[in-house]
Amino acid sequence: MSQLRCPKCESMEATKSGVVGGRQRFKCKNCGYHYSVAKTGKETSSYYVIKALQLYVEGVSYREIERLLGVSHVSVMNWVKKYGVKAPRQTDYHPTYKILNQKELAEFFQKPENLKEAGLIVTELGDKYMMIRWERFKQA
């Protein structure tokens, strides 16, 4: 019998634990977790998981990440919880972002004034690039 790894603790030690919905069910001897041999649903590419977590750390909201990457904001929340990612408190800086193609990005970097008084990160986003800037809030 071909054993699968426990999805919770990755252990190979399991016992049969009945049949649910026509599928064999197992119970992990290590952690007590019940699981089935075949998981239904689709798996998201790790590329999108990493990009979503990067955006979250940079201060982009769940809904905005959903619009940018095309993945559910609930999935993003679940990934944040699963991987224990915490965004730092941002009181002095405000992130803004733009989606640019290669030509627009090159034109942006040619102007010296665009590179002053702000933090900047550029990351690939499919066939385009996302540029995130942090500018200090102006004190009145």
Same domain for 26 and 46, yes or no, is no
What is the torsional sign of CA 62, 66, 69, 72? positive
Domain that holds residue 11: 1-41
pLDDT in tens, 82-95: 999 887 776 566 67
The predicted pLDDT at position 136 comes to 63
Same domain for 22 and 52, yes or no, is no
The predicted pLDDT at position 133 comes to 80
The CATH number linked to 72 is 1.10.10
Cα separation values, 129 from 6, 44, 88, 118, 122, Å: 38, 21, 24, 18, 7
Could you tell me the two tokens for 107?
Answer: 């034109």
Same domain for 36 and 73, yes or no, is no
Dmax of the chain from CA atoms? Answer: 71
What is the reported pTM?
A: 0.53
Report how many domains make up the chain. 3
Could you tell me the two tokens for 127?
Answer: 């066939």
Same domain for 48 and 86, yes or no, is yes
- Give the amino acid at 38: A
The predicted pLDDT at position 138 comes to 53
**Which positions of the chain have pLDDT values less than 70?**
1-3, 38-42, 90-94, 135-140
Same domain for 66 and 29, yes or no, is no
Same domain for 87 and 100, yes or no, is no
